[in-house]
Chain A
Amino acid sequence: MARLVAFLSAQRGRARADWTDWVSYAYLLLGLLLMFGPVLWLVLSSFKSPAALNEFPPQLLPYGQKTVIVAGHEKPLPLFSATLPDGTTRELAEVRRIGIQATLVDPAAPEEEYKVNIRDRKPVRHFELATSNYTEIFGKFSFGTYLWNSVFITVIATLITLLFNAMAAFALSKYRFGGRDAVFVLIISTLMIPPTIILVPNFLVVSELGLLNSLWGVIWPAVATPTGVFLLRQYMLTIPDELLDAARMDHASEWRIFWRIVLPLSAPALAVLAIFSVMWRWNDFLWPLIVLSRSEKFTLQLALNAFQGELTTEWHYLLAMTVITLLPVTLVFAFLQRHITTGIASAGVK
């Protein structure tokens, strides 16, 4: 413990813990609360029943009312903590409720019935996860279809992106041909083009290609990422040219060289691009919004948007859908956080 305190207060050789250190920790803790808090609240809320969600002020944890099986009754009966006319408070199961009068029984002795005003009883609650929120969306709202659409677009687009970008990066890094630099500048310059300016005309192009309302209409325009080409090219430049020459001496075709030598050696960069691409495609919104107008083609993002726009939003389903939508990215983050943050930091230096 003393070592921890000493470490915490050892700032650049100073033994004292500055007031600035305490402020720093307070700031970071506040940041932690602010960054993770709302997400945690979303997750917790997604496990609450609609009744619990309607409560104000809301409870922190998901609670459901306890139910108990009483002899002579088919379904489990809700449990209440009731104040009886004689003043005592007991936990009783409710058999029926008519108007403001509830009929309660002792689960152990169900023959005796108590009539209690509904105001004199409080539900007995326990921690309960409303997992039905998650299971029902697949049945009621074809959530599975939206999930499939998102997965399809993400996986296929990522595969094509990796292939096309790798091929282009290979050409730009390992070959000398007239116009190479122009092509490279052309590709990089597209980074400067705001997507808004090509919304309308792209709609025309996609429409003419017959890809409107098709998942492919979302996939094809997105696969030629200039960032990907740049990334892969940078990495491929570090692959020694002698490897390629040796392979050529071994009568390998250029395609074989690309596929069997350069591509495997570029695995780290490909992995980074794959993660980026998965993120980009999973999170795409505006363009799919324009291209996909039939609800059975919606991606998760579009489905969420459509669902929340309705007049009476069924939040318990919406929250569950949102949690599922953010799950893949969160998993990627949890496992690769260190690499992503150091990668961005070092790229920022350039």
Chain B
Amino acid sequence: MSRDRHPLLALPAALGRAVLDVLDAPMRAVQRLVGVPRIAWIFVGPNLAILGLFTFLPIVINFYFAFTGGVALYPSQRPFTGLENLETLFECESYLDPSTCRKDLFWRAIFNTGKFAVLQVGLMVAFALITALVLNRKILGRGFFRGVFFYPVLLSPVVVALIWKWVLQREGVLNALLAGAGASPVGWLSEAPTAFFWCVFVSIWAHMGFYTLILLAGLQAIPPDLYEAAEMDSASPWRRFSRITLPLLMPNLIVVLVLGLIRAVQIFDEVFVLTGGGPGSATTFIVQFIYQTGFAESIHQYGLAAAASLVLALSLLALTLVQLRLTKKGLAGGSGRDHG
């Protein structure tokens, strides 16, 4: 270790040495006890313990909650009810009409989530692709613009929601611009269709940059002389895009679509702050239903919430499996990767 370190590093370095010295003796003892190869378990231990306690154990417990009823939090105080929670959720005269369901909010949330996921992902991936295509050209300040689209990704969902809530106020800047153009102001977040639209818009705004970068990397991996060869092959710009760019970009597109769908289905934070689920239940999505059912209402219905989250988890599992199947097919059929 060099002696000439930056003075600013002196404190952390001293702290580091302190930790080392304090823990060195006990760790040596442990090492003597278990031997070098098994000391790996000591190292991986803390991480595994946290995961075990706060991820694996809860998954198991969740099943227990889903199949029990009552209002107690502690499992032993909850009576076993079997599939009753799931039955409650799925009790509907017609599955296509949420108002005929016993838990109509659950079904409304599912429909909303489905609509949202399809719309948001479809539009977002389209815009991400267009942006990636534009950023792939030789432009002045390409690195700067890459960052521009990526900035909102870093902001917290609460901040994102508040930024747009402020813009969409009745006396906000958007209505001001409209008024300036002669139109009348709109209550953007107080009408169901526009509130839904803005949920989609804000969500796209906040996440598009991330997927743009993934697609951009995919575009840049395509050798430019393929396009020149296509030009010599008399391919029109559209054919160059549809027969060369798109097929070679397909693996990245699949990743982006599935990642986007998984995230869209679990949308909560920014929407919750932006609309609170309203007006009414127009922008209530499935995660908010689970949160509300389990934590926000006067009676915490842990069982129902757990059951609903099971339904959500199974859908996401299905999505992930579809992605795996699609990527395998994509690898074999579309992109011609090296089979080794």
Contact = CB atoms under 8 A, between A and B. Distances in A.
Contact of B24 (A253, A322, A349): A253
Nearest to A10: B138
Given A57-B176, A345-B217, A204 B38 contact: no
Contact of B154 (A279, A319, A348): A279
A57 to B, nearest CB: 4
B216 A319 contact: no
Nearest to B53: A205
A114 interface: no
A221 B39 contact: no
Interface SS of chain A: helix
B70 interface: no
A108 interface: no
A58 B174 CA distance: 10
A286 B48 contact: no
A308 B217 contact: no
A253 B286 CA distance: 51
Interface in B21-65: 23-24, 27-28, 31, 36-41, 43-48, 50-51, 53-62, 64-65
B313 A197 contact: yes
A296 interface: no
A203 B291 CA distance: 12
A198 B312 CA distance: 12
B287 interface: yes
A323 to B, nearest CB: 9
A56 B176 contact: yes
A165 to B, nearest CB: 6
Contact of B149 (A31, A57, A187): A31
A286 B176 contact: no
Given A224-B47, A338-B143, A305 B176 contact: no
A264 B148 CA distance: 33
Interface in A308-349: 308-309, 315, 318-319, 322, 325-326, 329-330, 332-333, 337-338, 340-341, 344-346, 348-349
Nearest to B54: A221
A286 B31 contact: no
B59 A41 contact: no
A305 B167 contact: no
Nearest to B270: A285
Which of B41, B55, B179, B269 is the most central at the interface, judged by chain A CB atoms within 10 Å of its CB?
A: B55
Nearest to A41: B173
Interface in A192-211: 192-205, 207-208
B159 A348 contact: no
Interface in A132-171: 163-165, 167-168, 170-171
Contacts of A305: 158, 272-273
A36 B24 contact: no
B131 A31 contact: yes
Interface in B104-151: 130-131, 134-135, 137-140, 143, 145-151
A205 B59 CA distance: 11
A188 to B, nearest CB: 11
B268 interface: yes
Given A305-B158, A345-B213, A348-B252, A200 B165 contact: no
Interface residues of B, number: 110
B138 A35 contact: no
A160 B316 CA distance: 30
A202 B210 contact: no
A308 B165 contact: yes
Contact of B61 (A7, A183, A201): A201
B73 interface: yes
B290 interface: yes
Which of A39, A57, A208 is the most central at the interface, judged by chain B CB atoms within 10 Å of its CB?
A: A57
A347 B255 CA distance: 12
Nearest to A39: B163
B158 A304 contact: yes
B162 interface: yes
B180 interface: yes
Interface residues of A, number: 104
Contacts of B50: 164, 220-221, 223-224
Interface in A11-32: 11-12, 21, 24-25, 27-28, 31-32
A183 B48 contact: yes
A338 B28 contact: no
A27 B291 contact: no
Contacts of B159: 301, 304, 322, 325-326
Interface in B239-260: 252, 255
Interface stretch (A75-83, A96-104, A119-127, A172-180): A172-180
Contact of B47 (A27, A176, A187, A255): A187
Interface stretch (B86-94, B95-103, B303-311, B332-340): B303-311
B191 interface: no
A197 B62 contact: yes
A194 B145 contact: no
A271 interface: no
Nearest to A343: B213
A80 B106 CA distance: 58
A207 B295 CA distance: 13
25 contacts: A24-B134, A171-B43, A172-B44, A177-B40, A180-B40, A190-B56, A194-B266, A196-B286, A197-B310, A197-B313, A198-B54, A198-B59, A199-B294, A199-B295, A199-B309, A205-B57, A223-B50, A253-B28, A254-B27, A255-B20, A255-B23, A255-B28, A304-B158, A341-B146, A349-B221
The 9 closest A-B pairs by CB, nearest first: A283-B156, A348-B214, A255-B27, A201-B58, A201-B61, A57-B176, A224-B50, A168-B47, A175-B40
Interface of B: 1, 16, 19-20, 23-24, 27-28, 31, 36-41, 43-48, 50-51, 53-62, 64-65, 73-75, 130-131, 134-135, 137-140, 143, 145-152, 154-159, 162-167, 171-173, 175-176, 179-180, 205, 209-210, 213-218, 220-221, 252, 255, 262, 266, 268-269, 272-273, 276, 286-287, 290-291, 294-295, 302, 305-306, 309-310, 312-313, 316-317, 320
Given A177-B41, A309-B276, 12 more contacts: A167-B46, A190-B55, A198-B55, A198-B59, A200-B294, A200-B305, A201-B57, A255-B24, A259-B23, A289-B291, A325-B156, A346-B217
